[in-house]
Amino acid sequence: MADLIVDGAMIDIISDLYQNAYRNSLIIPEAYEAEGFFSRLGTSGRWLFFTAAPLKNSEGKIVGAIETLQDITERKVAESALLKAQLEVEEIVEQRTAQLADMNSTLRRDVERREQLEYELTKRNSELNLLNAKLVTTQEHLVQSEKLASIGQLAAGVAHEINNPIGYIFSNYGMLESYLGSLFEMLNAYEDAEKSCGDSDIVKELQARRVALEVDFLKEDIPDLMKESKEGIVRVRKIVQDLKDFSHVDAKPEWSFANLNQGIDSTLNVVNNEVKYKADIIKEYGELPLVQCLPSEINQVVMNLVVNAAHAIGPDRGKIWIRTGVENESVWIEVTDNGSGIPKEVVPRIFDPFYTTKPVGKGTGLGLSLSYGIIQKHRGQIDVHTVIGKGTTFRLVLPLKQTDKAE
């Protein structure tokens, strides 16, 4: 692809070479993306994702190109496994539906067999209870899987956020080494002049050397460089800490009283790289009391809503509002975007498991479904209001305290 860009033949040839497996980049003009399966790579073949972008000089002329290749086999395998699981669930539902229809027909035909049917229904109820227990366990596994998948998708963004401060730390320390070299040169000159310190010419030479090396400036600039380096280190530590607070990988989920505004800030810092190129975040927080909840799960819901809001915004930069407040014995959180909105016929299905309007490979269809389950677990409520072409608002309502959590 890079060769085609450099040769100026990309537009004429790419359709024949890549057919329907390529697309224009949404980020870089005249850049392309493609993916395909290569059966001769490895023992069972590998999926690769390509990008190619032109490099231009100041006159806008193409002088080169840069191409990347990324192994996406694990993602493709995961998508295949997820599709297989979906088909299995649908098959189970069809089987259960057929069995219930047959049972209903039997009841209509033979009233005399009521006692026998009641026995069958009792047995069926036991089976359904067992199936429900299995579904609860499966849902817990899905929550963890979705969370790990989300963190994996954001890992590149977090690395990008970490690399920025690390970059200027290394740059500043490089300058510091140069400055210290100049200071050592000055000190060496002083040492050489010790034996003839009364010589006025040497004194003048040392003074001239001091001026030439800008020793006074170095004394002022070195503390500033150290300060910038410290700020960079603090920023790295804050990003990593927020990621740790968001994931809670080192602790079991426990009900606790949490500051939701603080949790939202930590989540926004984690998803910053996913959002900052698409929209501006506008915070309108109210004064919130501590809320009894599972903080990591509420953070996951906020993350899902914010990332979905960013994806709903078109090519032009948009805005995402995050509001919080108190109402009676509950708190509420609103995530609003000025994106494309949700079609009316789609709204009733947005909380269904595995349902997604995103392109293949871009969404699992589990984010809103799991968010709905988390809010239900907290005895809360989640509502959506959307207008095509104007945007969407998701509103979460949570009680301040939980009662009978074991139930």
Q: What is the pLDDT of residues 135-144, one digit of tens each?
A: 776 676 666 5
- Write the CA distances from 297 to 144, 153, 221, 393, integer angstroms: 10, 18, 46, 20
Would 238 be classed as within a structural domain? yes
pLDDT for res 140: 65
Tell me what the mean pLDDT of segment 364-368 comes to.
61
Residues 212 and 340 in one domain: no
Q: Which of 250, 272, 295 is the last residue of a domain?
A: 250
Residues 46 and 120 in one domain: no
CB 232 within 8 A of CB 240: no
Would 79 be classed as within a structural domain? no
Where in the sequence is the domain holding 11, given as residue range(s)?
A: 2-71
Band of residue 250 on the pLDDT scale cut at 50, 70, 90: very low
pLDDT for res 249: 44
Tell me what the mean pLDDT of segment 39-66 comes to.
90
**Whole-angstrom distance, CA of residue 104 vs CA of residue 98:** 10
pLDDT in tens, 179-224: 777 776 776 666 566 556 666 676 677 677 777 877 667 767 776 7
Tell me what the mean pLDDT of segment 93-122 comes to.
83
Residues 340 and 319 in one domain: yes
Q: What percent of the chain has pLDDT over 90?
A: 19
Would 297 be classed as within a structural domain? yes
pLDDT in tens, 290-337: 999 888 888 888 988 998 888 888 888 899 999 999 988 899 999 999
Residues 303 and 361 in one domain: yes
Query: Any idea what the CATH number is for the domain that residue 362 is in?
Result: 3.30.565.10
CB 39 within 8 A of CB 33: no
Q: Which of 44, 71, 98 is the last residue of a domain?
A: 71
Over the chain, what is the mean pLDDT? 79
pLDDT for res 35: 87
Q: What percent of the chain has pLDDT over 70?
A: 74
Residue with tokens 């000025």: 338
Residues 257 and 239 in one domain: no
Would 215 be classed as within a structural domain? yes
pLDDT for res 364: 47
pLDDT for res 407: 43
Of residues 320 and 147, which shows the higher confidence score? 320
Q: Which of 215, 250, 285 is the last residue of a domain?
A: 250
Band of residue 167 on the pLDDT scale cut at 50, 70, 90: low
Residues 291 and 333 in one domain: yes
**Whole-angstrom distance, CA of residue 192 vs CA of residue 79:** 72
Residues 395 and 258 in one domain: yes
Residues 224 and 241 in one domain: yes
pLDDT for res 158: 64
Tell me what the mean pLDDT of segment 52-64 comes to.
91
Would 184 be classed as within a structural domain? yes
Question: Within a 10 A sphere around the Cβ of 75, how many other Cβ atoms?
Answer: 16
Query: Any idea what the CATH number is for the domain that residue 148 is in?
Result: 1.10.287
Residues 202 and 296 in one domain: no
- The domain total for the chain is 3
Would 83 be classed as within a structural domain? no
Residues 192 and 296 in one domain: no
Q: How many CA atoms lie within 13 A of 104 on its CB side?
A: 6
pTM of the model: 0.45
Residues 151 and 211 in one domain: yes
pLDDT for res 276: 84
The side-by-side arrangement of strands in the sheet containing 46-56 is 22-24, 32-38, 46-56, 62-71
pLDDT at 288 over 70: yes
pLDDT at 268 over 80: yes
Residues 260 and 244 in one domain: no
pLDDT for res 155: 55
